[in-house]
Amino acid sequence: MPINILMPALSPTMEEGTLAKWIKKEGDNISAGDVIAEIETDKATMEFEAVDEGILGKIVVPEGTEGVKVNDLIAVLLEEGESEGDIDAGAEPAAPPAPKPEAKTEAAAPAAAAPAAAAPAAAPAAPKADDGGRIFASPLARRIAREKGIDLTQVKGTGPHGRIVKADVESARAQPDQSAAPAAAQAAAAPRSAAPQGMSAETVAKMYADREYTELPLDGMRKTIAARLSEAKQTIPHFYLRRDIRLDALMKFRGELNAKLEARGVKLSVNDFIIKACALALQDVPGCNAVWAGDRVLQLKPSDVAVAVAIEGGLFTPVLRDAHAKTLSALSAEMKDLAARARDRKLAPHEYQGGSFAISNLGMMGVENFDAVINPPHASILAVGAGVKKPVVNAEGEIEVATVMSVTLSVDHRVIDGALGAEFLAAIKGYLEEPLNMLA
């Protein structure tokens, strides 16, 4: 039976994408793990890898097509012994009906999860059900089942037409009895009440019918940003903590380090020190190194710090993993690489997903202070303003000029209480005002 290749969900927020380019052509042999197409998501251009093997019998969606919905049919794969004549009999139409809920399991898995190893020349024979009928399973799923000793007659397929795929076999190895699922998990699956909606597009357009304007359609990234920020402000109980941080010692220390690192081509920015300070502060105040998970809080051990990067039409928040354990020069190099690839929309999902905390720095744009919106499921975000020379009162009670940076910590009160947030912000301030402690 021909295998339908559906538009994959290459990121958790993807609802549709652009089929930018077909790497494989009709008639090409396909092995599991082969890159068959390039797909533009709401965040990046990503490679789509095959999870089955066979011959690419028909391309349904031509390259360059925009607005292809997740789970729409984009191509048909023929298995051994099948020909183009089998496609009309076995394939769905180009605009298939909505998939069953369980069919999302395969589509929602990132394509990168497919193994890169080449498939052997001969796939395992198709298993038979108890009644002698064929059990439809991908060659990769059959091979994994054979290697692990899994009975495919006991596995429920979540692929098209109930086809058993790789994810089904892997989950069957450790999948507990669903009847034992805790009530909390069942409650989490219950649909949430609809959030209040603003005025419709038609209503707003009528308000400005007598004014000249240009209508700018939303791309996938802007739709995602709008949805996530609306969710954040509607569901996260924000509160805000503000501190002024003196940067004189940090600026002097940075200048000395950069003079020594110049021969290596390294130049540290103030933002590099902020990232390091926040990573160490998360270790000092582990209660703030946490995320909201619906019916529980997940407290992380490593400091995975996300940093907002502005790009044309939106922003990314690439994540610096284990930032507390990396040197300033390593953090600087990694941040430059992530920012450059973010602007080219070349980040993989694992590079901008995760983390427990984020930094948004508008100081380099002259903004002195602002309040940032928490990026769920993070529990906090630090808004960083510009360093500005101001008159301050020193320890001796004298007025002097100092470089002062204003920061605001936005906090999810479900995860972090006021006193704990204040302790976290004080730890960040301590590292930035005494930067030598970052090297201890």
78 vs 388: CA distance, rounded Å: 65
- Phi first, then psi, for residue 134 (nearest 5°) are -75, 140
> CB atoms < 10 A from the CB of 83, how many?
10
Helix (H, G, I), strand (E, B) or coil at 283: helix
Could you tell me the two tokens for 184?
């909390």
Residue 231: count of CB within 10 angstroms of its CB = 12
Amino acid at 160: P
Strand partners, 245: 405
Ramachandran angles phi, psi of 297, nearest 5°: -115, 135
Q: Active-site residue 378, yes or no?
A: no
Q: Please state the three-class secondary structure of 380-439 as a single string.
A: EEEEEEEEEEEEEECCCCCEEEEEEEEEEEEEECCCCCHHHHHHHHHHHHHHHHCHHHHH
- Cα radius of gyration (the chain): 26
- If phi > 0 it is left, if psi is from -120 to 50 it is alpha, else beta; for residue 285 that is beta
**Structure tokens that stand for 299 in this block:** 């407290």
Name the active-site residue from 161, 238, 324, 413. 413
89 burial (CB, 10 Å; 0-12 / 13-18 / 19+) is exposed
Instruction: Report d(CA 176, CA 178) in Å as an integer.
Output: 6
Helix (H, G, I), strand (E, B) or coil at 440: coil
Nearest to 137 by CA among 121, 158, 116, 118: 158
Closest by Cα among 82, 75, 81, 229 to 160: 75
Alpha-carbon distance 404 to 270, whole Å? 13
Q: Is residue 16 helix, strand or coil?
A: strand
Give the separation between CA 209 and CA 225, rounded to whole angstroms: 27
SS3 content of the chain, % helix, strand, coil (to 5): 35, 25, 40
- Residues annotated as catalytic are 413
